Amino acid sequence: MRTDVIDLPARRVWGAGRVLLLGDAIDAMTPDLGQGACQALEDAVVLADSLRRLFPPEAGLRDYEARRRRRANFVIE
């Protein structure tokens, strides 16, 4: 069995309005990093906190994006 390992470029924008990509849809990481589940847990905690603190939901989504982008892109690069 052969599995190619391909890095995707880091993304600057994760969403607009009420639409947001998260998890592997936006910050897919190669399996050799061992970060998939770790990043998913971080995503869940930050997203829940952002949506809890801010209204309307769009503000929470933008806050989540701003808080997670740097960390996720750091792990990818």
Long-range contacts (CB closer than 8 Å, 24 or more residues apart) made by 57-66: 57/18, 58/17, 58/18, 61/15, 61/18, 61/20, 62/15, 64/20, 64/22, 65/13, 65/14, 65/15, 65/20
Q: Is residue 8 assigned to a domain? A: no
pLDDT at residue 63 in the model: 97
Decide which of 25 and 69 is more confident. 69
Q: What is the mean pLDDT of residues 50-71?
A: 96
pLDDT at residue 48 in the model: 97
Q: Is residue 63 assigned to a domain? A: yes
Q: Is residue 55 assigned to a domain? A: yes
> How do residues 6-57 score in pLDDT, each as one tens digit?
767 888 899 999 999 988 888 777 777 778 788 889 999 999 999 999 999 9
Q: Is residue 58 assigned to a domain? A: yes
Q: pTM for this one?
A: 0.82
pLDDT at residue 51 in the model: 97
Q: Is residue 41 assigned to a domain? A: yes
Q: Is residue 11 assigned to a domain? A: no
Q: Which domain holds residue 68?
A: 35-77
